[in-house]
Amino acid sequence: MTPLIHQPRPTVLATLHKILRAACLLPFLAATAFAAAPPDAPVDIISTQFGIFDASTPGELSFEATNIIPRVTGQRYGWIIELKTTKHNVSVREEYVFALPAKVGSKTETNANETKDEFLEGFKQAPQRRNQVSQRQLAPIDGQIYGEWSVGENEPAGHRRLQVFVEGKLAATFEYDMK
């Protein structure tokens, strides 16, 4: 049988000393923990660009601003937003905005005897549909955040509009064509 080692019980004074020492450290720890940017720190958008990325040179990534994206499988494209903030991460939401396709069998011509009502004509335009692409947290690198995609194998040609929201506010609207 092993002998029991008797440890003395801490005294009330020793316990009180530990509590006071911890209490003295709390303001320091809190100041250190919250020294980072407050959650409501402002985010200022400095500039926005949309275009294509070229990674053909090893170890180097170049960007060319354009609103024409070549419809070549694997072509990388996207946006760069320069911003000013003290936040370590920013919330980014990207939304494609495009018109609904025309309905099959719908009339596009008006009857010659029919009078046009300009007010009602505005309601006959194709409504816009929003399709959320992504929502994520991005860490600014040298004051910039990036959104990037690559052209898919069966990606259709056509006009597109992309809206980018940073911290819930519209930061950029990009109109571009996939050709």
φ and ψ at 155, to 5 degrees?
A: -65, 125
| pLDDT tens digits, 96-108 | 876 555 554 444 4
User: Contact, 69 vs 155, CB < 8 A?
Assistant: no
Question: What local confidence, expressed as pLDDT, does residue 109 receive?
Answer: 45
* Residue 104: its H or E element: none
What pLDDT band is residue 139 in, cutting at 50, 70 and 90? very high
Please tell me the predicted confidence (pLDDT) of residue 132: 63
Distances (CA, A) of 122 to 17, 18, 24, 125, 157: 76, 74, 68, 6, 27
The answer to whether the CB of 88 falls within 8 A of the CB of 37 is yes
pLDDT above 80: residue 73: yes
Mean pLDDT of 85-92: 96
Residue 51 confidence (pLDDT) above 80: yes
pLDDT of residue 8: 54
User: For the ranges 50-59, 146-155, 164-173, which has the lowest average pLDDT?
Assistant: 50-59
Position 122 scores a pLDDT of 54
Residue 131: pLDDT band with limits 50, 70, 90: confident
Q: Cα separation of 158 and 164, whole Å?
A: 20
Lowest mean pLDDT among 38-42, 69-73, 79-83, 148-152: 38-42
Cα separation, 143 vs 82, whole angstroms: 6
Q: Where exactly are the structural domains of the chain?
A: 43-103+114-178
* CATH code that applies to domain 43-103+114-178: 2.60.40.1930
pLDDT confidence band for 49 (50 / 70 / 90): very high
Distance CA 82, CA 142 (A): 9
Q: What is the pLDDT of residue 65?
A: 97
Nearest alpha carbon to residue 37 among 135, 172, 140, 166: 140
Q: Which two tokens stand for residue 55?
A: 């990674």
The pLDDT assigned to 60 comes to 81
For the record, the structure tokens of 95 come out as 């939304």
> Which pLDDT band holds residue 129 (cuts at 50, 70, 90)?
low
Flag whether pLDDT at 17 surpasses 80: no
